[in-house]
Chains A and B, each alone.
Chain A
Amino acid sequence: MSDFRQRIEAAIPALRRYARALTRNAETADDIVQDTLVRALRSEHLFQGGDTRAWLYTILTNLNRNRLRSLSRRPVLTLIKDSDATTSGPEAGGRDITRALDELAEEQRSALLLVVLEGLTYREVANVQGVPIGTVMSRLARARAQIKAYLDGERPALRRVK
């Protein structure tokens, strides 16, 4: 197996993690990872060297954005994802963060996940998203502010009433 393919293969676990958090749906996530891999393998001759992983994140991020765009032109199908809606206690944290991510605009979610979950630098995220670093920073700031507001609002029980 070529060096190029080996590097692609080594990135699969991280791509699945990113795609899962980006789509919040295991099946959709693996489909997007598959499309990403197919596209990368097909475009081997276009790859100019450099960081294979960042390149794969770029392809995946673009494919997901295209997917959301084409979905937005179709009749809305609401997918009910939370089968564990009755979960409480420590597990409830996972459910809250998933819903909080749902609420974000796509490019904010992508910026936050690339930084927090995938450990990319701001510069790398700027390259993946094709925007200046300042835009990445403002996406990150908006994502964090919105999640904070969401989580704070979600747990009125924890608020002290004077």
Chain B
Amino acid sequence: MTDQDLMVSEDELHAYVDGELPADRRDTVEAWLASHPDDAGKVVAWRAQADLIRARYGAVAEEKPPQQLDIGRLTRRRTGAIAAAVAAVIAAFLVGGVAGWVARGVETATPSDLALFTSDALDAYRLYTVEVRHPVEVPGDQRPHLVEWLSKRIGSPLRAPELDKIGLKLVGGRLLPGPNGATAFFMYEGPSGERFTLYCGRTSDQEMALRYTTGEKNAAYYWVDQNLAYVLSGPAERDKLHEIAQAAYDQIDQRKPPQGG
């Protein structure tokens, strides 16, 4: 055995405490601790910390989870919440425009962004999807350039979801003013020329799952992911729109946590 083999690193001390040390190093580490009181003191302290943490929080796992976390209830709520949102929107339209929508409120922290984004996105949808010659500023065949440019202007890395699998081609995109500054606007086209748009800008809203809003002809799904609000707009065919929103949502959602220590 060389001197190198007899040296014990701090990483090994952690591994020893956490039961991750290879069995053939155990004796060496224990011999080391017997002759290095400072390191032995660290090991004792780390174990004591772990005991304190387990003593303080361990019992939480013995508690009966609150009703809020009931799986059956959560599964039912998903359809219930959408129905409630639709009811709120209909009520809001009856009362009159955005003011009614905000006053009615939904069970969100800040309904204003939801209302503002959805309203702006639907305006942009109606304005640009009827354009024949100039629907977009940058065409879809320049996708990397488009995404890079818009990401830079929004100040967040964006993705233009690939929706080819569900029959939608990227027409392109443009930069638009939005409720909280610069907003990205992507347009997609289906095989029979029907158009859908994805509107995306910064928000301080909490993460939020899909919310459906419908008008007479057009409808939208709104969601928030990582400080970006998204609105997918299209013809008021709920199932089709949901399929597209879900596909876009899932693609945007598949991120890795950032690297770094």
Contact = CB atoms under 8 A, between A and B. Distances in A.
B14 A137 contact: yes
A88 B53 CA distance: 17
A12 B69 contact: yes
Interface residues of B, number: 46
B46 interface: yes
Contact of B71 (A37, A63, A69): A37
B18 A129 contact: no
B107 interface: no
Interface string B11-41: 1001100101000000000000000000000
Q: Main SS of chain B's interface residues?
A: helix
B127 interface: no
Interface string A122-153: 10000001110001011111001001100100
B10 A141 contact: yes
A117 B57 contact: yes
A139 B69 contact: no
Contacts of A30: 66, 68-69
Interface stretch (B91-99, B164-172, B250-258): B250-258
A116 B50 CA distance: 6
B78 interface: yes
Contact of A14 (B18, B61, B207, B259): B61
Nearest to A116: B50
Interface of B: 10-11, 14-15, 18, 20, 42, 45-46, 49-50, 52-58, 60-63, 65-66, 68-69, 71-72, 74-75, 78, 204, 206-207, 209, 226-227, 250, 253-254, 256-261
17 contacts: A1-B72, A13-B62, A13-B63, A13-B65, A30-B69, A37-B74, A63-B207, A94-B52, A96-B52, A97-B49, A113-B53, A122-B18, A129-B257, A137-B11, A141-B11, A144-B14, A148-B42
